[in-house]
């Protein structure tokens, strides 16, 4: 039946809204099913991927090659520890010889008490080097420590305590987050050599 005033058919209703509602429900249902499948996949991956929360997060490295290279190339005697127990684990090593007037050596450890201890050396200007590697530590008055037959200045900062020795040709720093005894033990273990 046609309504002459409007020019449209009357009688049968317009089903377009109902079809759209059914499509909308189907879209939500598909989304929920997809999320369920994805959740199952994530759960399976989590179950089968090994994760040991008791594993030691420290990843020890070897540094003998880098130490030998630095001792051959550096214009100063490079310090490396000798005689430390296996509980001292090396974790980082870098040698930068790009600028012959600012050569630097770094060797980082985790000590037996799980604290960070590092050896830092450079032939660059001492004061900027000390400020950079100690993160702004300052000299602890006239306090000194004797370790390995050498006298070291004690420096303190917000993050690190450091033992500093300024020699002709290089500045050597032993710094860390642990107690002075660990820094002193590392400083006493250092042997400086060149040309190996």
CATH class of the domain whose range is 64-193 = alpha beta
What percentage of residues in the chain have a pLDDT greater than 90? 67
Domains in the chain: boundaries = 2-48, 64-193
Task: Write down the pLDDT at residue 196.
Answer: 58
pTM, entire model: 0.72
* Top-confidence range, 3-12, 54-63, 156-165: 156-165
Q: Each residue of 43-78: pLDDT tens digit? A: 888 888 776 667 667 788 999 999 999 999 999 999
Q: Could you tell me the sign of the dihedral formed by the alpha carbons of 178, 179, 182, 187, in that order? A: positive
Rg (alpha carbons) of the chain, rounded to whole number: 33
Q: Is the pLDDT of residue 5 over 60?
A: no
Q: Each residue of 8-49: pLDDT tens digit? A: 555 555 555 555 555 556 788 888 888 899 998 888 888 887
Q: Which residues contact 130 (CB under 8 A, 6 or more apart)?
A: 137, 155, 162, 164, 171, 173
Task: Write down the pLDDT at residue 16.
Answer: 56
Q: For residues 42 and 26, give the distance between their C-alpha atoms in angstroms, rounded to a whole number.
A: 24
Q: For residues 18 and 36, give the distance between their C-alpha atoms in angstroms, rounded to a whole number.
A: 27
Which position has the higher pLDDT, 86 or 26? Answer: 86
Which of 81, 80, 129, 120 has the alpha carbon at shortest distance from 101? 129
Average pLDDT, the chain: 88
Task: Mean pLDDT check: name the lowest of 38-52, 96-110, 148-162.
Answer: 38-52
3-state class (DSSP) for residue 28: helix
Q: For residues 154 and 159, give the distance between their C-alpha atoms in angstroms, rounded to a whole number.
A: 14
Task: Write down the pLDDT at residue 28.
Answer: 82
Which helix (H) or strand (E) element contains residue 17? Answer: helix 16-48
Could you tell me the pLDDT band of residue 115, with boundaries at 50, 70 and 90?
very high
């Amino acid at each position: 039946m046609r309504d002459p005033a409007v020019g449209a058919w009357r009688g049968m209703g317009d089903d377009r809204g109902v079809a759209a509602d059914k499509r909308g429900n189907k879209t939500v249902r598909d989304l929920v099913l997809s999320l369920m499948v994805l959740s199952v996949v994530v759960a399976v991956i989590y179950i089968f991927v090994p994760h040991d929360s008791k594993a030691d997060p420290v990843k020890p490295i070897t540094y003998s090659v880098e130490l030998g290279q630095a001792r051959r190339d550096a214009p100063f005697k490079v310090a490396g520890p000798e005689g430390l127990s296996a509980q001292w684990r090396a974790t980082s090593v870098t040698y930068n010889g790009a600028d012959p007037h600012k050569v630097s050596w770094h060797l980082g450890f985790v000590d037996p008490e799980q604290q960070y201890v590092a050896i830092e050396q450079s032939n660059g200007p001492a004061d900027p080097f000390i400020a950079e590697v100690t993160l702004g530590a300052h000299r602890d008055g006239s306090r000194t420590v004797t370790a390995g037959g050498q006298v070291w200045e004690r420096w303190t900062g917000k993050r690190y305590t450091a033992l500093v020795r300024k020699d002709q040709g290089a500045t050597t720093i032993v710094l860390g987050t642990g107690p002075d005894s660990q820094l002193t033990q590392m400083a006493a273990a250092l042997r400086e050599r060149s040309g190996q």
